[in-house]
């Protein structure tokens, strides 16, 4: 089984990613670290615990990370995820789960250095915690098995600004540290592919586990409405679950080796991921970018894993 640390800013789609990471027989979730992103750090942590309780998940260390981006003010996404971050779905639930001691960056460093070459870090929020871990112990770069992040878009089309994807936009300085760190296996699951992984009525209907069916249906309701208004389809994109899906089954995507950087100093383009398609920078490729996805196969896998609850 693939060992992973999942770094989340829980978030509707992060929540589904967590459920997959806990339930997949192919994965061994050794810890969840929380980040400030869609919602505050506290709300992201609270949502994470509530989601784990939904499936009576065993004790999995939940470790809080930074409560703000490296240099910027937080930029929450309440419009998409609701004020609580999970579309109001678990508003009345209280979790008594205890948090693990320490902070996210220290946890990443400790776990990776304890098991060199063994652990994959999957990030589905802004990259603040991973950047802090790299700053604290640069040796993790060569000891992590793989880093998979949901973020960016190399077709130049963003979802927060015309060109920037949310996770990149929320903490571009952290993203720059991660992209420039020299991580031997760094995989980008960007909007180019996640926008094709659409949760439609058909797939919601296929979730048979009553609690999870309800949770997915309720938490994604406004998210799907917004998507319908913009695209005329009743669906929403499974951004973060796809990042977990790529670890479960790498054949779901086609990747290309690319040289990618992120803009940190621009009036209009902060958070934009730039792909040097023509090798103008003369830099080595640093990212395996997911270019195509077998979307239906992924959605079937996602439903299957959710139904294991
Ligand atoms: C990303 O931004 C967040 O709103 C989602 O949870 C996902 O991680 C998509 O751009
Ligand atoms: Ca997220």
What is the atom index within ligand 1 of the atom nearest the CA of 13? 6
For the Cβ of 239 lying below 6 angstroms from any atom of ligand 1, the answer is: yes
Backbone φ, ψ for residue 145 (5° rounding): -70, -45
Q: How far is the CA of 281 from the centre of ligand 2 (A)?
A: 30
Residue 231: predicted pLDDT: 85
Out of 166, 244, 272, mutate this one to test ligand 1's pocket (max ligand atoms within 8 Å of CB): namely 166
Q: How far apart are CA 276 and CA 289, in angstroms?
A: 12
Phi, psi of 222 (to 5 degrees): -75, -30
What is the 144 CA–ligand 1 centroid distance (Å)? 24
Containing 47, the helix (H) or strand (E) segment is: helix 41-54
Q: What's the gap between Cα 62 and its chain centre?
A: 16
What ipTM does this complex have?
0.99
The predicted model gives 63-88 an average pLDDT of: 92
Whether the CB-CB separation of 181 and 24 falls below 8 Å is answered with no
Which has the closest alpha carbon to 47: 79, 76, 8? 8
- pTM > 0.80: yes or no: yes
Active site residue ranges:
239
121-145: pLDDT as tens digits: 999 999 999 999 999 999 999 999 9
pLDDT at 170 over 90: yes
Other Cβ atoms closer than 10 A to 67: 15
Strand 2-8 relative to strand 27-34, pairing: parallel
Ligand at shortest distance from the CA of 7? 2
| DSSP-assigned letters across all residues of 162-189 | SS--HHHHH-HHHHHHHHHS--SSEEEE
Residue 14's pLDDT band (boundaries 50, 70, 90)?
A: very high
């Amino acid at each position: 089984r693939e060992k992973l640390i999942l770094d989340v800013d829980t978030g509707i789609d992060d929540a589904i990613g967590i459920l997959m990471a806990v339930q997949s027989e192919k994965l061994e979730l050794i810890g969840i670290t929380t980040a400030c992103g869609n919602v505050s750090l506290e709300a992201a942590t609270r949502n994470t615990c509530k989601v784990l309780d939904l499936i009576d998940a065993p004790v999995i260390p939940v470790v809080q990370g930074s409560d703000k981006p490296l240099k910027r003010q937080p930029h929450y996404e309440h419009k998409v995820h609701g004020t609580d971050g999970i579309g109001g779905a678990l508003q009345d639930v209280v979790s008594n789960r205890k948090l693990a001691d320490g902070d996210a960056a220290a946890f990443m460093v400790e776990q990776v250095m304890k098991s060199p070459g063994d652990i994959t870090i999957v990030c589905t929020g802004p990259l603040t915690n991973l950047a802090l871990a790299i700053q604290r112990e640069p040796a993790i770069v060569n000891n992590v098995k793989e880093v998979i992040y949901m973020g960016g878009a190399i077709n130049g089309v963003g979802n927060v600004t015309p060109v920037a994807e949310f996770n990149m936009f929320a903490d571009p300085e952290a993203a720059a540290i991660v992209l420039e760190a020299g991580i031997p296996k760094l995989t980008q699951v960007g909007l180019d592919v996640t926008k094709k992984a659409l949760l439609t009525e058909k797939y919601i209907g296929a979730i048979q586990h009553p609690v999870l069916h309800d949770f997915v249906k309720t938490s994604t309701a406004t998210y799907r409405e917004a998507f319908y208004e913009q695209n005329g389809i009743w669906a929403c994109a499974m951004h973060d679950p796809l990042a977990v899906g790529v670890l479960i089954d790498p054949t779901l995507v086609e990747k290309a080796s690319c040289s990618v950087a992120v803009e940190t100093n621009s009036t209009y383009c902060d958070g934009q991921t730039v792909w040097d398609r023509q090798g103008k920078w003369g830099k080595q490729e640093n990212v395996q970018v997911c270019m195509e996805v077998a979307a239906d196969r992924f959605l079937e896998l996602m439903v299957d894993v959710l139904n294991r609850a």
